[in-house]
Amino acid sequence: MSLDRLVLWRHGETDYNAAGRLQGHLDSALTETGRQQARRAAPRIAQFAPDTAISSDLNRARTTAEAFAEVSGMPVRLDKRLRETHLGEWQGLSGAEVEHGWPGALATWRSSPTWAPPGGETRIEVAERAAEVVEELDHEHHGTALLCAHGGLITALTAKLVGLPLELWPGLGGIGNCHWVVLKRRTGTHWRLMAYNAGAFSAD
């Protein structure tokens, strides 16, 4: 038994997104815009007809996943391994505040999946814990799995699953709020990228 397809769905806009602050493991809430994004995207996500659905346990992902559950009637399981990158001492700060306190560190972090913010984790570590979830699903389910998670995790997991060399990980762009990635099984543990940063509406 193994999965044929993965749908990785990012949460809607949060108060921290709107304020331009880094969230990491902080449990921020969706804005009204974020809730509307989730409600608009949920029917599109439901069209993938996932056989199982799992969400990060952080509020912003959980609330987004609830919009899918309301449309589909499918229960959504929570898993803390799908949380966003832990950003350590940067959590809650703006980009300008990080640059002031750690000059040049943001650029280093964005360009190197092996580098972690002080007290935080690397993108490699994030991808590995998320890949554990996928591996377990492979032994429990077939068909399509939906993971409702976070932009940094989705990008790192995508890079790992399609086998990108580490130096190419920064070449993947960010994922918009309530946008998604679709991967299909190629062979064995390898996946093929079918859609990236797709959205229900181009204006999202």
Active site residues per annotation: 11, 84
DSSP assigned state of 57: S
Instruction: Give dist(CA 95, CA 77) in Å, integer.
Output: 33
Task: Please tell me the distance from the alpha carbon of residue 202 to that of residue 204, in angstroms, as a whole number.
Answer: 6
CB atoms within 10 A of CB 145: 24
Residue whose entry in the numeric block shows the structure tokens 């509406």: 201
CA separation for the pair 113, 109 (Å, rounded): 7
If you search the block for the tokens 């984790």, which residue do you land on? 121
Provide Rg for the chain, Cα atoms. Answer: 16
